[in-house]
């Protein structure tokens, strides 16, 4: 198995696009977005990085394209060359999705239909399907039983509010006209959440929908990707933000991949959308991963190198990796470059 870090945040534009080469060429999350206003670079430089990233993503030959969710730093809408002739494994747009991502998914699949099928998406939408959804935190044995001390009461309140939000969303999913899986000549779409596929000697596994960050994050859900080939395993986590949730760290430890492409915490949002308690969870979980896996290479990047103090704020992680002689890199480090956020 070979992998290529096509573009990541440490290179100057938001992305976690990765090309994995087995007996198939698998392009994971082919998207890119311009850095936020507070990123220490000129607007012209940010645009230049964005354009370079987009061109590089489009230049990669792939048989398979994976879209873990519908944020623009994870998929491009729309590019004929990128999707033509591909087997696309995409996040199910009918459930475990918020309003903004649903709208983006409708637009994306509408473009697929128009370009490759010469039809209108509305012509193939299916009737709504009633379905019972369970509380997703019931699967989080570790995090739900964790003692948060003085924060416990506030956390319980937030979780209860989150459950109400979730079940209101579930009612909406049951009212959606459902977007179906698609096949247009040589372009095919499969919804991947919680499923497994074999392509030649390659085994692809996709997790059930995972929270995009903390429990009941309003940002939505994603899936993580596991690629297995001839005894090697690579995990691409997409956006689990650290991971914040202990059960997600435990899953990574159990999988024990040779290659882990892990998105980090949003230190640039520390004190805003990321509080100190949840930030400390990300550090504890990362230390467990470093200490309890035998992973050869960990790419610790997406979200993380968006502000100059990211390494200082996560210092204990880098120090632990160095002490244990573990190979933890930003994508820029891995490629022999300096993270863009640190300047020239």
Contact 330, 305 (CB under 8 A): yes
Question: What is residue 305's predicted lDDT score, i.e. its pLDDT?
Answer: 98
Q: Which two tokens stand for residue 86?
A: 């591909």
Question: What is residue 69's predicted lDDT score, i.e. its pLDDT?
Answer: 98
Instruction: Evaluate whether the domain defined by 2-342 bears CATH number 3.60.15.10.
Output: yes
Strand partners, 3: 20
Q: What is the CA radius of gyration of the chain?
A: 20
Question: What is residue 344's predicted lDDT score, i.e. its pLDDT?
Answer: 77
Q: pTM of this prediction?
A: 0.98
Residues of the chain predicted below pLDDT 50: none
**Cα–Cα dist 89/321, whole Å:** 33
**Cα–Cα dist 63/225, whole Å:** 16
**Cα–Cα dist 237/301, whole Å:** 11
């Amino acid at each position: 198995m070979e992998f290529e870090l096509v573009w990541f945040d440490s290179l100057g534009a938001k992305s976690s696009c990765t090309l994995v080469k087995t007996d198939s060429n698998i392009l994971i999350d082919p998207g890119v977005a311009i850095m936020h206003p507070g990123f220490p670079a000129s607007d012209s430089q940010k645009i230049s990085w964005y354009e370079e990233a987009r061109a590089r993503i489009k230049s990669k030959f792939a048989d398979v394209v994976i879209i873990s969710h519908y944020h623009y730093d994870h998929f491009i809408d729309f590019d004929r060359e990128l999707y033509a002739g591909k087997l696309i494994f995409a996040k199910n747009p009918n459930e475990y999705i918020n309003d903004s991502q649903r709208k983006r998914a409708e637009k994306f699949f509408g473009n697929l239909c128009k370009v490759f099928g010469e039809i209108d998406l509305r012509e193939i939408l299916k009737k709504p399907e009633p379905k019972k959804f369970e509380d997703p935190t019931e699967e989080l044995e570790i995090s739900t039983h964790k003692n948060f001390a003085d924060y416990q009461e506030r956390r319980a309140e937030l979780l209860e509010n989150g459950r109400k939000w979730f079940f209101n969303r579930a009612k909406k999913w049951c009212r959606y006209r459902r977007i179906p899986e698609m096949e247009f000549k040589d372009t095919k779409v499969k919804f991947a959440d919680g499923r497994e596929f074999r392509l030649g000697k390659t085994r692809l596994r996709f997790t059930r929908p995972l929270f995009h960050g903390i429990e009941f994050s309003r940002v939505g859900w994603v899936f993580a990707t596991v690629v297995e080939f001839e005894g090697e395993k690579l995990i691409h986590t997409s956006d689990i933000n650290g991971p914040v949730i202990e059960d997600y760290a435990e899953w990574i430890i159990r999988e024990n991949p040779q290659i882990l492409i892990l998105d980090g915490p949003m230190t640039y949002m520390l004190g805003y959308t990321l509080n100190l308690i949840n930030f400390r969870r990300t550090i504890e979980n990362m230390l467990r991963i470093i200490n309890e896996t035998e992973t050869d290479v960990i790419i610790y990047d997406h979200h993380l190198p968006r502000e100059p103090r990211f390494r200082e704020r996560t210092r204990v992680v880098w120090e632990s990796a160095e002490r244990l002689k573990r190979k933890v890199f930003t994508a820029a480090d891995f490629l022999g470059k300096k993270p863009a956020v640190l300047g020239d």
